[in-house]
Amino acid sequence: MDLMQILQSQLSDDVVGQISEHIGAKPEQTAVAANDIFATLLGGLANNVSSESGLSSLGSALDRDHDGSVVDDLMGMVGGMLQGNQAGNATNGAGILGHILGGQQEPVAQQISQSSGLNMSQVMKLMPILAPIVMSVLGKARNQGGLDLGSIAQILMGSAQNNSQQGGMGDLLGSILGGVMGGGQQQQPQQSQQGGIDLGGLLGGLFGKR
């Protein structure tokens, strides 16, 4: 099980329906856009953790704000966000997007709009709702799985590589972010193990029952 599969599994029909009603879209379009947004955010994170400073920043953010509890009550989290209630930085989707994508949010949203059929306004509403889910999944993997930052980086870069090979948002991210998904010079992990840990199996154990 990889991060994309885990993220997709968090979005139940009820959650997708709730979000779709909020942004004024069909659930099918929301689901397509969500996949593209997840792939984009994973690619942006992989790009960030390819440097020591970026990896350290991610570690600090996970330690400070993202313990993984958000995904334990996703309906409650999404419902609170849609009502304008934010429980601190853990659900500050706009802030998370700023850290991951910087000033490239609109170009990313434009591309996702074209691929999903949502308009720009809908995509821009959707992105900050989904961003906390990505960080919470990483936080849960780190805290409950006992993963160090090196393992988190390996998981992120492996997922980015898989998304690129499967024709997800790889080309987009390569041109916009200039990162590892676009065929950059960073070497991707070739195995799903580090220090004797089966990372894919560990993630499946943490999230597979959802």
pLDDT along the chain (210 residues), means of 10: 85 95 96 94 90 92 91 88 75 92 91 93 96 93 86 88 66 51 38 47 58
Which pair of structure tokens corresponds to residue 111? Answer: 């591309």
| Burial of 80 from C-beta contacts in 10 A (0-12 / 13-18 / 19+) | middle
Which pair of structure tokens corresponds to residue 81? Answer: 């966000």
pTM: 0.82
193: helix, coil or strand?
A: strand
Q: What is the pLDDT of residue 33?
A: 95
Q: Are the C-beta atoms of residues 30 and 19 closer than 8 Å to each other? A: yes
Domain residue spans of the chain: 3-207
Residue 198's H or E segment, with its range, is strand 197-198
Q: Are the C-beta atoms of residues 97 and 131 closer than 8 Å to each other? A: yes
SS (H, E, C) 25-36: CCHHHHHHHHHH
Q: Are the C-beta atoms of residues 139 and 154 closer than 8 Å to each other? A: no
Residue 210 and residue 208: Cα distance in Å, rounded?
6
Q: What is the pLDDT of residue 147?
A: 84
Beta-bridge partners for 193: 198
Average pLDDT score, the chain = 81
